[in-house]
Structure 1
């Protein structure tokens, strides 16, 4: 048998290894989940930036096309260094015209190259200065119309300086326009959905555009701002390359989507881990069980050896006494010793029969034929088998046959053995004179037999295992109680074969009560 300390060390090592494997798997799953979430966040921010840039570029292109058309319609002035661009926008609601003016001053001059020490006599330097302003003109005034005509007539040709002017004019003009006139919900939704699908993100979302942390008209119906889970990017930069607008997006099922991406790996990991745990638990249980069985068998062999040794010794002593010349002629003593030999032989035979009965029960080889019997009669018959033993020890049996109906389907011989075994158990575990109470009663369609003693009782652990084969609460070389742990195992198997149930209630030093329940027959 494996050394107990080695066995314990192996169990600890195996348990630590299993826990380690589970922790490593949990670490990698958690790491994979975090990486998936980071990738999701990156893809979403990338999509938002794409939407923001695309919409802003589309708007800018639209404005520049309009500006270019206006420039092409004006007069070309190539003689002045000052290029003034005027853009007109009518506002029908307020009956006003807004004029955007951008002035670009180009200065060309030469400077001495000695300042830079580059080996040339002089350098050509160009400096561009910019001045912008916005003017609002009332359309119902004569002066306003004249001023507008004069401004529009000074449009210059499109060159590098003009591009700079157009860029700033576009930002000035767009900045004054409300956001719901600059972009539509449908356009944002279309661009965002297409970009997200490129990265296999096909879950629902809600979005909105906020201006200085206040909601605008560009907003989906179910959008709710949540600081911790809302993605945002700047939207529509102004002339100072700053933005008062932010495009915000929420994904209500984000966690579910991220979790589903590793669901297959997680399920497989859990399944394989459970298989390992079940296999390990089963193997550990079998090892512990084998150790227990090994210990029980050792106890059984010790007890059987002790119980066979006593009758064998008694038989040998009786035979030696009979051989004695002084006794062999004494017929009375010879008969007495022969009676002792017979009783001890019967005792050994009974032990062997118990072992054989259990073996046959386990192999389903024991033929148990059943017939209608009166359980009250079987109880009285069983008591007669142990009455002399109880009286010899100065005890008594109290019988209360309260069951008015007591017909059951049972095997008379085997069920009598069941009752005798329980009564014998009560006698053996009564240190003082046995006081046993046997009661029968009817509950619903069942008859109950209670066998109560006032003996030493048993622990909670023993109560759970008392019907196991070979189990005895007294182990090792302690033989203060005869037996080998087969009687109650036999009892349980026979009762269950009769579609019945047996249980025990016990308390240390206060005795035990065994209860058998059998179905009644009409």
Structure 2
């Protein structure tokens, strides 16, 4: 059974890990889809703004300036660095108007988040009579921002790539058109780049409901798994305890029933029937065994009651007088020497309001356990004291300590401390359960703890 539960737990953990992996995969996919949706949204907005009349006019101005700059480079022999410097200068001239209008359109779109936009040069190629002159190319030179905002971020993404191709007439050294009317062809490649401010947080906010639902489902599955396994283990333990209880009570009933069987058979013997002494002895045996059976039945019935079902008939008792009587009666009924129980009773007289019958039963249960489980040479210590209107009763016995696992369950119904799979002391596992119910019915608490070489049961009840 233990192996089956272990396998169940192992498979459950593996299933939970698989579920977590699937959930993480789905969340990752959703994140990427949301990211693509934002990019598509910005791409569409950016294309709308670029196609507007104002931006189109500014772009046309920029392209005309660029054509003039490139033509001047070819005709006047301007250096490449000087050409790049002229391009930056002309871009800065119109950039203020470009940024103002572009950002205004973004604000009007009410996206719910801030973005930055810029156009950067990718390459400038001049083609003359089949010869390509590379003026600028990304990867070789540092990227050049033409228009838009200044920012550097690895999370920025490209929303558009455009190619501007044009021709410029080639002039002679005096600035006149060549008779061949040579023209200069050039290609300018640029990219529109967008950066979403705080992109990850925006995506997480959009996915907040998904995260909450996913976490709730995940925790629900964990709790369901936890309570299922715990319930299975509890049911297994209860089944074992009930089986043990049936075995114990069967054993307890077997002895008196066997004795009754022998006594009944002996009554069939004419010799015994004709002998008054034998007959009386047999009848006494039947009476004793009948009483024993009745007590066993009563013990099972009574100990099944909870603290709320126990009806108390409380009365005022003087502590020392009462406890001395309980100890003396226990010594007499258990046939143990008086020195076996060491009494350390509270010196001052205290009045307690208790149900003498039930409370005496509770104390006797603890003392019987101390006698059963304690070592033969050790004493049972019965100690009482009053502290802050709380009356405490301690019953300790020398012997083997109770491990922490047993301490957690020792007051449960049918539970019995065992060694391995064998119970070394007879019983039904109801005594301490009933004792706790009696103490609770008196508004008290009971606990057990190991102290050096002894085990102590402590009862605390309110003093009158």
**TM value normalised by structure 1:** 0.64
Distance 1:250 1:310, change over 3 A: same
Query: C-alpha distance in 2, partners of 1:429/1:15?
Result: 41
Partner of 2:243: 298
Task: Select the residue among 261, 273, 296 that pairs with 1:351.
Answer: 296
Partner of 2:412: 468
Partner of 1:187: 101
Structure 1 unaligned blocks of 5 or more = 68-85, 88-99, 104-129, 136-170
Query: C-alpha distance in 2, partners of 1:28/1:236?
Result: 35
Partner of 1:249: 195
Partner of 2:340: 396
Write out per-residue CA displacement over residues 125-153 of structure 1, whole angstroms, 9 at most, x where no aligned residue.
xxxxx965599xxxxxxxxxxxxxxxxxx
Structure 2 unaligned blocks of 5 or more = 79-83, 122-141, 165-185
Task: Select the residue among 176, 198, 202 that pairs with 2:89.
Answer: 176
Task: Select the residue among 404, 427, 450 that pairs with 2:371.
Answer: 427
User: 1:286 offset after TM fit, Å?
Assistant: 2.8
SS at match of 2:394: strand
Within 5 Å, give how 1:279-298 maps onto structure 2: 279-298=224-243
Indicate yes or no: 2:415 matched with 1:502. no
Within 5 Å, give how 1:82-231 maps onto structure 2: 132=75, 175-177=88-90, 179=92, 181-184=94-97, 185-194=99-108, 197=110, 201-205=111-115, 227-231=153-157
SS at match of 1:259: helix
Write out per-residue CA displacement over residues 44-86 of structure 1, whole angstroms, 9 at most, x where no aligned residue.
4665576577676331445799x9xxxxxxxxxxxxxxxxxx9
Query: C-alpha distance in 2, partners of 1:369/1:132?
Result: 121
Indicate yes or no: 2:366 matched with 1:368. no
Write out per-residue CA displacement over residues 410-456 of structure 1, whole angstroms, 9 at most, x where no aligned residue.
32211111111111111111242452101112233322211111133
Within 5 Å, give how 1:375-386 maps onto structure 2: 375-386=319-330
Query: C-alpha distance in 2, partners of 1:393/1:209?
Result: 104
SS at match of 1:288: helix
Indicate yes or no: 2:53 matched with 1:31. no
Query: C-alpha distance in 2, partners of 1:395/1:315?
Result: 37
SS at match of 1:382: helix
How many residues end up aligned between the 2 structures? 414
Write out per-residue CA displacement over residues 13-38 of structure 1, whole angstroms, 9 at most, x where no aligned residue.
55544543343223212221233234
Query: C-alpha distance in 1, partners of 2:226/2:399?
Result: 38
Partner of 1:126: none
Task: Select the residue among 410, 434, 445 that pairs with 1:490.
Answer: 434
Q: Is the 8 A contact 1:393 1:433 kept in 2?
A: no
Q: Is the 8 A contact 1:302 1:476 kept in 2?
A: no
Query: C-alpha distance in 2, partners of 1:476/1:325?
Result: 49
Distance 1:56 1:417, change over 3 A: same
Query: C-alpha distance in 1, partners of 2:93/2:352?
Result: 91
Asked which structure has the greater CA Rg, the reply is: 1
User: 1:376 offset after TM fit, Å?
Assistant: 4.2
Q: Is the 8 A contact 2:366 2:432 kept in 1?
A: yes
Partner of 2:58: 59
Q: Is the 8 A contact 1:385 1:420 kept in 2?
A: no
Query: C-alpha distance in 2, partners of 1:393/1:23?
Result: 69
Partner of 2:460: 517
User: 1:299 offset after TM fit, Å?
Assistant: 0.8
User: 1:469 offset after TM fit, Å?
Assistant: 0.6
Which has the larger displacement, 231-240 or 424-433? 231-240
Write out per-residue CA displacement over residues 99-145 of structure 1, whole angstroms, 9 at most, x where no aligned residue.
x8969xxxxxxxxxxxxxxxxxxxxxxxxxx965599xxxxxxxxxx
Distance 1:350 1:343, change over 3 A: same
Within 5 Å, give how 1:447-458 maps onto structure 2: 447-458=391-402
Query: C-alpha distance in 1, partners of 2:251/2:420?
Result: 11
Partner of 2:169: none
Query: C-alpha distance in 2, partners of 1:431/1:327?
Result: 46
Distance 1:462 1:60, change over 3 A: closer
Partner of 1:149: none
Query: C-alpha distance in 2, partners of 1:327/1:397?
Result: 46
Distance 1:63 1:214, change over 3 A: closer
Distance 1:350 1:321, change over 3 A: same
Q: Is the 8 A contact 1:422 1:514 kept in 2?
A: yes
SS at match of 2:250: helix
Which has the larger displacement, 509-518 or 450-459? 509-518
SS at match of 1:183: helix
Query: C-alpha distance in 2, partners of 1:318/1:434?
Result: 39
**TM value normalised by structure 2:** 0.71
SS at match of 1:177: helix
Which has the larger displacement, 493-502 or 257-266? 257-266
Aligned-residue Cα RMSD (Å) equals 4.6
